[in-house]
Amino acid sequence: MSILAQNKFLLSSRTRVNPLSPPIPRKIVYCVANTVDVAAAGATTTKPKHADGQLVIKREFVSPPLTLGKASTYHYVLNDPSLRSTWGHRAWVASGCTTVLISLAKSIVGAASSHIWLEPTLAALVGYILADLGSGVYHWGIDNYGDASTPIFGTQIEAFQGHHKWPWTITKRQFANNLYALARAVTFVVLPINLAFGDPILHGFVSVCSGCIMFSQQFHAWAHDKKSQLPPLVVAMQDAGLLVSRMQHSAHHRPPYNNNYCIVSGIWNQLLDETKVFEAFEMILFFKLGVRPRSWSEPNTEWTEETETVEQTTAS
């Protein structure tokens, strides 16, 4: 389903300032001995020599702290290592793609040898439809329940919370970095099926469903990209409803953050939202377990989207 990140989503944050508030003048008094390096607002400057023990008064402007409900700016570093693909990431993506292609090949070969095409094709269609539903259920779950300390899913939960605050950073992740966690899960699930079964109908379902799940994070990233930056084929598939559209997914990133969870094609979103399926699940969990979903108390500063600002330096 929609597992993000592998790495914690909090990127190399350099400075957070409130762009709506003017800087506040402040006096700094410090004692110097010979040459002193003073770091102010993230920059290091060298002061001239003074007599040992001399007090120096320096007037500077500093930004006020963030005000709740105000827009804020998030600075990130170009080429941040947490956004890059490693050879380990690429290996897992290659492994996931290989297992999916083997399953698809077994479906095609089996259908050709048995001269049955309708059943494997229908199974593939069901796999495509259920992959979208699965992405929505998983997305709803990790958006609303658990935290960074949750076993197994903690990293993914933390990543999705960060995604609400900085949604545009998913477009900065390199391909394998964005997909490797899903590809790893697909490898472990699909490889045993490839070894144990040869039924073309089963593999028609497995290959398409697992493939859509593995690439759901790429579909998700495309839903955050500008139309002008996307390949024409991707735009056409989004417009046709075959992939989740930018307009549909953007509604998920607006208050109250409790709709449009599906991120493969989005075909389930309208039905699930109109019938309030997830709200019913939330009520059941609340009355049975006493657990409140996160969407009941949002929005707050944790999910308030910040403005994209790129720090014009590169990470080492």
Percentage of the chain lying above the pLDDT 90 cut = 54
pLDDT: which is higher, 305 or 117:
117
pLDDT at 295: 84
From 292, 107, 273, select the one nearest 193 (Cα to Cα).
Answer: 107
pLDDT for 263: 96
Q: What is the pLDDT of residues 10-23, one digit of tens each?
A: 333 333 333 334 44
Tens of pLDDT, residue by residue over 247-295, are 999 998 888 888 999 999 999 999 999 999 999 999 999 999 999 998 8
Is residue 187 very low, low, confident or very high in pLDDT (cuts 50, 70, 90)? very high
What is the structure's pLDDT at 255?
A: 82
pLDDT at 5 over 90: no
Query: According to the per-residue pLDDT averaged within each range, which of 66-80, 112-126, 149-163 is highest?
Result: 112-126
Domain parsing of the chain, residue ranges: 86-296
pLDDT, tens digit, 9 for 90 and up, residues 217-248: 999 999 999 999 999 999 999 999 999 999 99
| Number of helices followed by number of strands (H, E) in the chain | 9, 7
Max CA distance (Å), the chain: 93
Confidence of residue 130 (pLDDT cuts 50, 70, 90): very high
DSSP assignment of 181-209, as one string?
HHHHHHHHHHHHHHHH---HHHHHHHHHH
Once rounded to an integer, what is the mean pLDDT over residues 12-37?
A: 41
What are the C-alpha distances in Å from 29 to residues 43, 49, 174? 18, 15, 46
Residue 137 has pLDDT above 70, yes or no: yes
Residue 153 pLDDT level (bands cut at 50, 70, 90): confident
DSSP 35: S
Contacts of 57 (CB under 8 A, 6+ apart): 27, 28, 29
Tokens standing for 219? 């579909």
Tokens 């570093």 sit on residue: 77
Give the span between the Cα atoms of 308 and 254, in whole angstroms: 16
CA angle 239, 245, 250 (to 5 degrees): 145
